[in-house]
Amino acid sequence: MNKWNEIKKRLEHLGGQVTLQADGHKVTLRKVHDGKRIFVVVYVDDYQRGEWTKVEDGKPVHPEARFWRPMKRAAYKRKGYNQLKKVFGKKKADRMVTPQVIGFVPDFGTEGSAVAHLRKHFPDLEIKEEAQP
């Protein structure tokens, strides 16, 4: 079994957890719920800090945010595109409805999306063995 399937398998059930080593950081993924939804939360070196959410030119300000999910939003909804095009012109209207990275958040909706993000950005990560109680 490859490491990507192993990560998915460990996060399959609620309360599942896996610890990884990537780019000199300890990354912990844990499947949790908040009463309404189930999601995968990410801790970098056992922390989640608010300042890690910051973005400059679509890139994270802090390197720890690379492990988090980029949140993309458009300045205006696509529904109002025709009105924007009349007022600002096509080129500017296109930019206004195109989603851009506005921050990084420490959660993923599914274990598959978390693994896809890690696979794309950190292909050489290692799974740390969990200490059995």
pLDDT per residue of the chain (133 residues) written in tens, 0 to 9: 688 898 899 988 888 899 999 888 999 999 999 888 999 999 999 989 989 888 888 788 898 989 999 998 888 899 989 999 999 999 999 999 988 888 899 999 999 999 999 999 998 888 887 654 4
Q: What CA dihedral angle connects 112, 116, 122 and 127, to 10 degrees?
A: 20
* pLDDT in the model for residue 132: 47
* pLDDT in the model for residue 130: 67
* pLDDT in the model for residue 125: 87
* pLDDT in the model for residue 1: 61
pTM metric for this prediction: 0.81
Burial class (CB in 10 A: 0-12, 13-18, 19+), 34: exposed
- Show the DSSP H helices in 19-110 as ranges: 81-88, 90-97
* pLDDT in the model for residue 45: 92
